[in-house]
Structure 1
Amino acid sequence: MSAPSALALSGRRWFPLWAIMHHDGRRSGTHYATPVAVIPTLSTDTLLIGLPWGPKTNWARNVLAADGATVTWKGQVQQATEPRLIGPEDAAALAKPLFRG
């Protein structure tokens, strides 16, 4: 999916596997809206986002530096607080069974 089409579809109520991460650049302060893939979890208060390009992607570094971000997911705007990086084993334990590696 191209970036413009991913951004157009992400965050919609009828497109639950993609969200939009709203974050500010840690150096520039520029506001960004980045489409991200959401992995369904067992808990309603946990949002699990895959990092296919690794933890050094700029959006992930921005969210970690700011200690949170705003996420549009399933048509709702939510605050994402206390972000952290976890390993594959911990992520698999949080994911719904159908989405475990």
Structure 2
Amino acid sequence: MAGVPRGAKQFNKIAIHLAGHRFPSVWAVLRHRGRKSGNEYAVPIAVIPTDSTFLIALPWGRGTDWVRNVRSAGMCTIKWKGVEYECTAPTFVDKATALAAATGLTRRILRRGDFPHGFIQLDRRPAG
């Protein structure tokens, strides 16, 4: 993954154990299949939830493996607050769209932050 800081892999190993549970609620686990390998991968992510979507910031850009895999497949699953969701229709959106969806502390962070790579938005519904 080009542009990803060296410590990101170590962080991911720790974050994957915290993500997807009820607390902390911003963290989730995104599961996707490799475009070429077909292997399943899990990535910890921070989500901005709406009633029908998840928005995810792309700090390392649109070319990271998980983004490319999700776009290629057109789907993934996300475990958030202990619930598994089927997510489809990956679409790139801008900061204004994320700000409109965000509330509280997340909204304040988004207002102050620079998000040059934007966000990906996924339609969601409970799995099963």
Please indicate the TM-score interval, normalised by the length of the shorter structure. Answer: 0.7 to 0.9
SS in 2 for 1:34: strand
Which stretch of the first structure deviates more once superposed, 83-92 or 73-82? 83-92
Counterpart position of 2:11: 2
What TM-score do the two structures reach when normalised by structure 1? 0.88
Q: Runs in 1 of length 4+ with deviation above 3 angstroms?
A: none
Quote the offset at 1:20 in angstroms.
Answer: 0.5
Matched, 1:80 2:99: no
Counterpart position of 1:45: 52
Query: What is the CA RMSD across the aligned residues, in angstroms?
Result: 1.5
Q: Which runs of 5+ in 2 are unaligned?
A: 1-9, 112-128
Count of equivalent residues? 99
Q: Which runs of 5+ in 1 are unaligned?
A: none
Instruction: Please state which structure has a larger fraction of its residues in strand.
Output: 2
Larger Rg: 2
What TM-score do the two structures reach when normalised by structure 2? 0.71
Matched, 1:67 2:40: no
Quote the offset at 1:97 in angstroms.
Answer: 5.2
